[in-house]
Structure 1
Amino acid sequence: MSQILRVALVAGEASGDILGAGLMRALKSQHPAVEFIGVGGPLMQAEGLTSYFPMERLSVMGLVEVLGRLPELLARRKRLIRTLIDAKPDVFIGIDAPDFNLDLELKLRQAGIKTVHYVSPSVWAWRQKRVLKIRDACDLMLTLFPFEAQFYVEKNVPVCFVGHPLADAIPLEADRQAARAALGLPKDGQVVALMPGSRGGEVARLGGLFLDAAERLRAMRPGVHFLLPCANAERRQQLEALLAGRNLPLSLLNGRSHDALAACDAVLIASGTATLEALLYKRPMVVAYRVASLTYRILKRLVKSPYISLPNLLAQRLLVPELIQDEATADALAQKLSPLLDGGHAQTEGFDAIHRTLRQDASNTAATAVLALIETR
């Protein structure tokens, strides 16, 4: 393929901007002439994307917030469909943001444009009928995890497992002593990272609980020190209020979650993407999850998966403890966490095997799959 390729991409949030930028770099390295159009953030724009409007206009979370912005989102998607059909890209790549991108992909594919969706929605866990829409909308699904690819194979959706960029970026063996030195911690002594989430609602539900669990654990292991990364200034303020009146040996960090994971011996963590990062750093963990009681009752009926945390989904077995809703008490969390400070080897051996499976040179693997799709025209 020596001609100029026109590649359209749409990312809706920061994580998609990171994935998109990596994919764009890989495409440029594999093809001599390529131009990029669509919607992306600063990282994708730095790689050469002409963004039709700011990515932040698609970054909206929560039902009420989405409803309030729905007219704008629908209007933007309608205009974007017309613009991209007129631009006739060789391929369109929707990066995550399935509620926005799948409808966009469907219209573009109906207009004869090849379509790729990068990052599978959680159809294997709930709302499985979405796979029918995905089958109609996508010429190719790129998945980060192997169990997702198996699901699509069973549903007759063209799929390529590309691995996870974090697995490529994080070393197979992190330097604990260097991380402790960077954080001003002593070389010896047991260190526990507390990671109750990056959103205000998560911290409201789990922040106080994790600090209660830390107090219980300190009573069991008096020499333990705690690390608590704050996602942003708002979360730091929220956590400082929760720490008032407590006497915990704790370092409150501005960001630096990867340093905290590298430095610690074990992690108490909210279910979510951060559990993958803890896995890749080979740090034994206890996973907790709490939502509003009505939300929990609804999700319990909808979710088909036996596990909620990525380590267990990837292992396809109960590798890490999951304490959900009422089971997530301070005493229970401390009791599960304490023995992990002695090594947690059963977990870390499983983590190492998963890390090696996910190390697929994700961006280049994804780029190769996209270029192969273009060649099938």
Structure 2
Amino acid sequence: MNYYLVAGEASGDLHGANLMKALKAEDGAAVFRYFGGNKMEAEGGELVKHYADMAFMGFTEVILNLRTIFKNLKACKDDIVKWKPDVLILIDFPGFNLKIAEFAKANGIKVCYYISPKVWAWNQKRVLKIKKVVDHMFCILPFEVGFYKEWGMEVDYVGNPLLDEIAQFLPDSGFRSNHQLGNEKIIALLPGSRKQEIERLLPVMLSITDNYPGYRFAVAAAPNFTEAYYHQFIGTRKVKLLFNNTYNLLHHAHAAIVASGTATLETALFKVPQVVVYKGGAISIAIARILVKIKFISLVNLIVNKKIVTELIQEDCNTQKVNEELRMVLEGAGRDLMLKHYDELLLLMGKPGASAKTARLIVGYLK
């Protein structure tokens, strides 16, 4: 069968690649075409557009880039109609993908949605649209099943695909020596994969590095940027820059400072104590504070439904507070408590197998 996938950011590329691998195991005749990234491209098929040209963060940034967004939407719609897939698989990225779902449904194409939009966070009435334009929804957070049921929609809970990726990870035994990391304890800096978040968060993360002479700092760099791009922020600091090594970095890290998003959950699953940071445009944040109806922004806290990791948002994301919170998780009671809470998270997350389960369901529904 012919599968058309749309992923618009780094996490979607990761989950899309794992799903493609699982679909190939279920369907020996699987053919892929997609909007995605390097990881999906490594699984075969044809990459139409890279997510680096699609990801815009926050209300203001979306408005400023509307022309590019509309251009991408048109290109995606035209390509789907031209290719005529058996099924369209949308991966997260709701602002873009719900429009594509509506278009595909109107054109008689079956729509599967993997990784639900966060409709439980704000504007919950979007579920009414999802019910109309999505044939099958596959959720990765346990509480989403009950949420959708309240709105009269049955969905499939498949577990979390990050567990699949981490289960497949094989640590590089030569990681420290290959990257001249020595024997110092490592503090990982994960500033995200989007240009806007890197430029807002990385300078704050780097501003504390001189306060920790006994530690080694390392930045998990997104593959869609160059070394020169990152070095404009790093300057002369003795900070390692690591491409395509995030899991090796987390495997060896003693602590981390992490941009809010999927990486907070990955960091927790590697049992690395962390400080979560987030900064958006002033207008975007003001609108979000009115519309968003959730207590936390990090997946770690949301899944357990209590504060496990500290979230430093907007004006709280500054050198002084990041420094204070990092010291709390480096040693002592704060660190021990966070690690204990991570055990609760792991129990709630369950076992690997989300990608395989989703692939089985998709192929079964198509048959």
Q: 2:320 aligns to what SS in structure 1?
A: helix
Structure 1 residue ranges without an equivalent (≥5):
none
C-alpha change, 1:80 and 1:348, in structure 2 (3 Å) is same
Deviation (angstroms), 1:38: 6.1
- Partner of 1:141 in structure 2? 137
User: 1:125-178 CA distances to partner (integer Å, 9 max, x unpaired)?
Assistant: 123222111111112111222233332232222211222333122249996986
Matches within 5 A, 1:28-43: 28-31=24-27, 33-36=29-32
Q: After the TM superposition, which of the residue ranges 175-184 and 258-267 deviates more from structure 2?
A: 175-184
Matched, 1:115 2:111: yes
Cα distance in 2, alignment partners of residues 224 and 161 from structure 1: 41
Aligned residues of 1:77 and 1:100 also touching (Cα < 8 A): no
Matches within 5 A, 1:1-377: 5-13=1-9, 15-31=11-27, 33-36=29-32, 44=40, 49=45, 51=46, 54-56=48-50, 59-62=53-56, 63-64=62-63, 66-80=65-79, 82-83=81-82, 87=84, 89=86, 91-110=87-106, 113-171=109-167, 179-187=175-183, 189-216=184-211, 218=212, 222-232=213-223, 234=225, 236-244=227-235, 249-342=238-331, 344-355=335-346, 357-375=349-367
Cα distance in 1, alignment partners of residues 341 and 194 from structure 2: 29
Aligned residues of 1:226 and 1:251 also touching (Cα < 8 A): yes
C-alpha change, 1:33 and 1:173, in structure 2 (3 Å) is closer
Deviation (angstroms), 1:350: 2.9
Deviation (angstroms), 1:197: 3.0
Larger radius of gyration: 1
Aligned residues of 1:195 and 1:267 also touching (Cα < 8 A): yes
Aligned residues of 1:13 and 1:55 also touching (Cα < 8 A): no
Q: Report the AA paired with residue 133 of structure 1.
A: K
Q: 1:259 aligns to what SS in structure 2?
A: helix
Deviation (angstroms), 1:276: 2.0
Q: Report the AA paired with residue 67 of structure 2.
A: G
Cα distance in 1, alignment partners of residues 231 and 155 from structure 2: 45
Structure 2 residue ranges without an equivalent (≥5):
57-61
Deviation (angstroms), 1:349: 3.1
User: 1:244-292 CA distances to partner (integer Å, 9 max, x unpaired)?
Assistant: 465xx53333442222222221112221222122112110001112223
Q: 1:308 aligns to what SS in structure 2?
A: coil
C-alpha change, 1:115 and 1:261, in structure 2 (3 Å) is same
Q: After the TM superposition, which of the residue ranges 360-369 and 156-165 deviates more from structure 2?
A: 156-165
Q: Report the AA paired with residue 61 of structure 1.
A: A
Q: 1:307 aligns to what SS in structure 2?
A: coil
Deviation (angstroms), 1:353: 4.1
C-alpha change, 1:332 and 1:101, in structure 2 (3 Å) is closer
Deviation (angstroms), 1:192: 1.4
Aligned residues of 2:7 and 2:51 also touching (Cα < 8 A): no
Cα distance in 2, alignment partners of residues 42 and 173 from structure 1: 17
RMSD (CA atoms): 3.4
Aligned residues of 1:172 and 1:355 also touching (Cα < 8 A): no
Deviation (angstroms), 1:365: 0.6
Cα distance in 2, alignment partners of residues 93 and 233 from structure 1: 23
Q: 1:237 aligns to what SS in structure 2?
A: helix
User: 1:98-118 CA distances to partner (integer Å, 9 max, x unpaired)?
Assistant: 334323333444555432111
Aligned residues of 1:145 and 1:358 also touching (Cα < 8 A): no
Deviation (angstroms), 1:206: 2.3
Deviation (angstroms), 1:44: 5.0
Cα distance in 2, alignment partners of residues 71 and 269 from structure 1: 31
Aligned residues of 1:183 and 1:259 also touching (Cα < 8 A): no
C-alpha change, 1:101 and 1:234, in structure 2 (3 Å) is closer
Q: Report the AA paired with residue 69 of structure 1.
A: T
How many percent of aligned residue pairs carry the same amino acid? 35
- Partner of 2:59 in structure 1? none
Q: 1:334 aligns to what SS in structure 2?
A: helix
Deviation (angstroms), 1:294: 2.5
Deviation (angstroms), 1:181: 4.3
Q: Report the AA paired with residue 143 of structure 1.
A: C
C-alpha change, 1:122 and 1:25, in structure 2 (3 Å) is same
Q: 2:187 aligns to what SS in structure 1?
A: strand
Cα distance in 2, alignment partners of residues 190 and 38 from structure 1: 40
Q: After the TM superposition, which of the residue ranges 274-283 and 95-104 deviates more from structure 2?
A: 95-104
Deviation (angstroms), 1:371: 2.8
Q: After the TM superposition, which of the residue ranges 116-125 and 337-346 deviates more from structure 2?
A: 337-346
TM-score under structure 1 normalisation?
Answer: 0.80
Q: Report the AA paired with residue 75 of structure 2.
A: R
Q: Give the aligned length.
A: 359
Q: Report the AA paired with residue 337 of structure 2.
A: A
Deviation (angstroms), 1:37: 5.6
